[in-house]
Amino acid sequence: MSSDSSSLHSSAVINEAVQALRDGGLVAFPTETVYGLGADAKNPDAIKKIFTAKGRPSNHPLIVHLAAPDKFDRAQIDWVPVLAPWVRDLSEDALKLINTFWPGPLTLVFKKDKSVLNELTGGQDTVAIRAPAHPISQALLRQFQGGIVAPSANRFGKVSPTSAADVRDEFDDVLDLMILDGGDCEVGIESTIIDLSSSDRAVLLRPGLITPSEISTKTGIKVYLPGEDAVSKRDAALPRVSGSLRAHYAPTTPLRMYASGRILDALSEFPDIKSQVAVAVWDSDSSLGEDGHPSVHFEEVIVPSDSTVFTSRLYRTLRDLDQQGWDLILFPEPPPGEEWDGVRDRLQRACFGSGPSFSNHANS
């Protein structure tokens, strides 16, 4: 069942979705990052349905989505009562990040309140929370008046969905899944995740659109990377979060990255040389030209060299190429720089998990 875009915000459709969630069902809904597969965060049976539908390991934590409080005529929103049922303590830094970036593509990890279900935290004492910016997700959350847990609405480890049609493709066998259609996702990759659970510092657990330097510029908060001297001692204790497995976001077609001008090197990994190869090339580059190989049919796919546009189209491109029957997909390595870290992270995991033998990787 899917609502058509003309009635996007019709209260009837939102009410129907809210009722489905209250009844312990699943509802797929758009966020600015990717589509989520949502369930009532206070209902253990509904949460188990997510893991079953996705084929996701139950020790893999979920993100709780919350509505932004109504602002009315106040200069600053009061987030404390919104977070109080979920979080053990809110630092000044946490409130700075929240007031600067929420609603938006930033997930924060806190020590959890004791009432938060183990089913959604993967048995950890931390909980990941965000307030999505998409108007449909906000309308749904406001009306629901509670937390909705929602990993990406796709089979575990596969390419995340950025349109309602992608969700339908993934779950065509789940007959009673309600899908709210909010058009194409603007950001296109999952949120940035920052760990605040050890109170003394902010640690980046997953890169996304919001970068450490943007956080530093707007809030003065320094974000550490796992492994930086100051945090390496407690690295082992960093919480597990969504999207942190080595193989993830992956197409079924083998995917590899190539360094500038080194397409043949990427091909040499496949000694039984693949015959039909899709090669993504930057719109700023000249065509493949001399990189040809006698027994290979290359087709160029132009990808944008602007990081924001590239990010917003990454999953769409991977999903489309995966359905076109190529033997191999080659992507250029993203250039250095923080604004490319999110897509670099997704592409590395997608390469590792790609190909029909995905489950072998997942177990290794």
Q: Are residues 37 and 145 in the same domain?
A: yes
Q: Are residues 80 and 191 in the same domain?
A: yes
Q: Are residues 227 and 291 in the same domain?
A: no
3 has a pLDDT exceeding 70: no
Local confidence band at 76 (pLDDT 50, 70, 90 cut-offs): confident
Encode pLDDT of 179-236 as tens digits.
999 999 999 999 999 999 986 899 999 999 999 999 999 999 999 998 775 555 555 5
**Residue ranges making up the domain that contains 53:** 5-237
Local confidence band at 5 (pLDDT 50, 70, 90 cut-offs): very low
Q: Are residues 179 and 45 in the same domain?
A: yes
Q: Are residues 280 and 215 in the same domain?
A: no
As a whole number, mean pLDDT of residues 301-318 equals: 97
323 has a pLDDT exceeding 50: yes
CATH number of 124's domain = 3.90.870.10
- Among 205, 237, 269, where does a domain finish? 237
Q: Are residues 233 and 265 in the same domain?
A: no
DSSP string, 318-360: HHHHHTTT-SEEEEEPPPSSGGGHHHHHHHHHHHHH-STTHHH
Number of domains into which the chain is organized: 2
Chain centroid offset of residue 313 CA: 13
Local confidence band at 356 (pLDDT 50, 70, 90 cut-offs): confident
Q: Is residue 245 part of a domain?
A: no
> What is the structure's pLDDT at 245?
82
| DSSP helix/strand/coil, 107 | strand
> From residue 58, how far is each of 49, 51, 53, 139, 261 by CA, in Å?
11, 6, 12, 29, 42
> What is the structure's pLDDT at 228?
79
Q: Is residue 248 part of a domain?
A: no
Return the closest-CA partner of residue 343 out of 163, 224, 189.
189
Local confidence band at 359 (pLDDT 50, 70, 90 cut-offs): very low
Name residue 40's amino acid: D
Q: Are residues 211 and 260 in the same domain?
A: no
Query: With a threshold of 0.85, does the pTM exceed it?
Result: yes
As a whole number, mean pLDDT of residues 291-295 equals: 60
When comparing pLDDT for 288 and 276, which is higher? 276
299 has a pLDDT exceeding 80: yes
Local confidence band at 264 (pLDDT 50, 70, 90 cut-offs): confident
Q: Is residue 332 part of a domain?
A: yes
Q: Is residue 242 part of a domain?
A: no
Q: Are residues 204 and 286 in the same domain?
A: no
6 has a pLDDT exceeding 50: no
- Among 173, 208, 237, where does a domain finish? 237
Encode pLDDT of 99-143 as tens digits.
999 999 999 999 999 999 999 999 999 999 999 999 999 999 999
| Burial class of residue 31 (count of CB atoms within 10 Å of its CB; 0-12, 13-18, 19+) | buried
Q: Is residue 129 part of a domain?
A: yes
Q: Are residues 14 and 60 in the same domain?
A: yes
Percent of the chain at pLDDT > 70 equals 88
Q: Are residues 304 and 195 in the same domain?
A: no
Q: Is residue 250 part of a domain?
A: no
Q: Are residues 347 and 224 in the same domain?
A: no
CA dist 144 and 142 (Å) reads: 6
363 has a pLDDT exceeding 90: no
Q: Is residue 77 part of a domain?
A: yes
> What is the structure's pLDDT at 270?
72
CATH number of 322's domain = 3.40.50
> Of the given ranges (225-229, 289-293, 331-335), which has the lowest mean pLDDT?
289-293
Task: Give the list of residues 6+ apart from residue 66 with CB closer than 8 angstroms, or none.
Answer: 82, 83, 86, 129, 130, 131, 141, 147
Q: Are residues 220 and 291 in the same domain?
A: no
Q: Is residue 117 part of a domain?
A: yes
> Of the given ranges (154-158, 262-266, 269-273), which has the lowest mean pLDDT?
269-273
> What is the structure's pLDDT at 154?
95
DSSP string, 160-220: PP-SHHHHHHHTTT-TT-EE----S-SS-SPPEEEE-TTSS-EEEEE--SS-HHHHHHHH-
> Of the given ranges (88-102, 190-204, 236-250, 297-311), which has the lowest mean pLDDT?
236-250
CA dist 127 and 196 (Å) reads: 10
- Among 206, 237, 268, where does a domain finish? 237
Q: Using an 8 Å Cβ cutoff, are 277 and 293 in contact? A: no
